[in-house]
Amino acid sequence: MSKLEKRFLFGLFFSFLVVPAAQAYLDPASVTFLIQTMVAALIGAVFMLRNYWTRIKAWFGKKEIKPDDSFNKIKTSVDASSDASVDRQEK
């Protein structure tokens, strides 16, 4: 390390020691917002984990993931309902 780098690091370290304490105020709304954000992140992580749980289990268990037919069932039911609405409009 060069002499210039040592001086820079010493100055940076020393500047953190000299900084006075902040006289800051956190109002209840700020704290509530922070708590709400943390809870939302936690709930989002739980839902994401729940959605990918089969993939995670398969990765650790080295098992093959079977495709889920629920998307195809939803798609066919939507197609059937849209066909029925078209039939109603034609009459």
Domain annotation covers residue 4: no
Domain assignment present for 5: no
- Could you tell me the residue range of the domain that residue 55 belongs to? 24-90
Q: Evaluate whether residue 15 is within a structural domain.
A: no
* Contact in structure between 66 and 72 (CB atoms under 8 Å): no
User: Which residues have a Cβ under 8 Å from the Cβ of 63 and sit 6 or more positions away?
Assistant: 57
Beta-strand runs (E) in the chain: none
Domain count of the chain? 1
81-91 pLDDT, tens digit per residue, is 555 555 555 55
Cα within 13 Å of Cα(91), Cβ side: 5
Position 82 scores a pLDDT of: 56
Is position 1 within any domain?
A: no
Residue 19 lies in a domain: no
pLDDT value at position 37? 97
- Please give the C-alpha separations between residue 47 and each of 26, 41, 43, 44, 80, in angstroms, as whole numbers: 31, 10, 6, 5, 30
Quick check: is 13 in a domain? no
Kindly report, residue by residue over 24-78, the tens digit of the pLDDT: 888 889 999 999 999 999 999 999 888 888 787 877 876 555 655 555 555 555 5
